[in-house]
Structure 1
Amino acid sequence: MNQPIRPSPELIAVVRRWNDAVRKRDGAALSNMLSTSEHVRYQGSADGEFWSGSLFRKGFPDHVAEIPNYDWQEHSLEAFECGPVGWAHCVATLRFASNQKATAHRFTFILHLEDGVWKMVHCHVSNPIANMEKIGIEHKALDALIAAARDGFRQDQREGMASVMFTDIVNSSAIAEKLGDRVWTEAIQKHFELARETIEAQGGTLVKSLGDGTMSSFSSARAALMAAAELQRRNTANPDEPSVQIRIGIHTGDVIQTDDDFFGTVVNKAARVAAAAAPDEVCVSDATQLLVGGQDTLNFGPPVSMELKGLPGAHTVYSLKW
Structure 2
Amino acid sequence: MIKTSPELLAVTERWFDAIRYRRTHVLKDYLSDSAELRFIGTGEDEFWRGQVVRDGVGDFIGEMPEPDVWEVLEAEAFENGETGWSAFLHKVGFPGLGDSFIVRTVLVFVLEGASWKIINRHASLPFPNVEFVGSEQLAIQSLVNAALNDGPELLQTEGLASVLFTDVEGSTTLAEAMGNQSWSALIDQHFQTVEGIVAAHRGQFVKSLGDGTLSSFQSANEALLAAIDMQEAVNLTDMEPRLGLRVGIHTGEVVLARGDFFGTVVNKAARITSSANAGEILVSDETRAMVSGHHEFKFVDAKSVTLKGLPKDHTVYRLQWAR
**Bucket of the pairwise TM-score, normalised by the shorter protein:** 0.7 to 0.9
Alignment of 1:115-130 (within 5 A): 115-128=113-126
CA contact (8 A) 1:79 1:211 kept: no
Distance 1:106 1:254, change over 3 A: same
Aligned-partner SS, 1:160: strand
Matches within 5 A, 1:211-226: 211-226=210-225
Structure 2 counterparts to residues 28-107 of structure 1, below 5 A: 29-70=26-67, 73=70, 75=72, 77-92=75-90, 94=92, 96=94, 99=96, 103-104=100-101, 105-107=103-105
Structure 2 counterpart of 1:13, from 6, 10, 13: 10
Deviation readout 1:250-291 (Å, 9 max, x if unpaired): 122222334643233322222122112222111122221211
- Percent of aligned pairs with the same residue? 40
Distance 1:88 1:103 in 2: 23
Task: Give the 5 Å matches for 1:1-322.
Answer: 3-6=1-4, 8-22=5-19, 24=22, 26-27=24-25, 29-70=26-67, 73=70, 75=72, 77-92=75-90, 94=92, 96=94, 99=96, 103-104=100-101, 105-128=103-126, 141=142, 142=144, 145-148=147-150, 160-258=159-257, 260-322=259-321
Structure 2 alignment gaps of length 5 or more = none
Distance 2:196 2:227 in 1: 12
Relative to structure 2, which stretch is displaced further, 273-282 or 212-221?
273-282
CA RMSD of aligned residues (A): 3.1
Q: Is 52-61 or 306-315 further displaced after alignment?
A: 52-61
C-alpha displacement of 1:129: 6.1
Residue 261 and residue 34 in structure 1: after superposition, are their counterparts in 2 closer, same or farther (change >3 A)?
A: same
- Note the C-alpha offset of 1:153: 5.5
Structure 1 stretch displaced more, 102-111 or 274-283: 102-111
Shift of 1:114: 2.2
Residues 168/132 of structure 1: CA separation in 2 closer, same or farther (3 Å cut): farther
What's the TM-score, normalizing by structure 1? 0.83
* Deviation per residue, 1:159-182 (Å, 9 max, x gap): 522211110000100001111112
Larger deviation, residues 85-94 vs 241-250: 85-94
1:92-135 per-residue CA deviation (whole Å, 9 max, x = no partner) reads 455557x4767443322111112332111111223456889998
Structure 1 gap ranges (5+): none
Residues 259 and 66 of structure 1: CA distance in aligned 2, closer, same or farther (over 3 Å): closer
- Between the aligned partners of 1:175 and 1:32, the Cα distance in structure 2 is 18
1:184-226 Cα distance to aligned partner (Å, 9 max, x none): 1121112112212221111112111111011111111100011
166-175 or 302-311, larger mean C-alpha shift: 302-311
Per the alignment, do residues 128 and 286 of structure 1 end up closer, same or farther by CA in structure 2, a change over 3 Å counting?
farther
Alignment CA distance shift 1:319-1:143 (3 Å) = farther
Aligned AA (2:110) = H
Give, in angstroms, the shift of residue 52 of structure 1: 2.5
* Stretch moving more, 131-140 or 283-292: 131-140
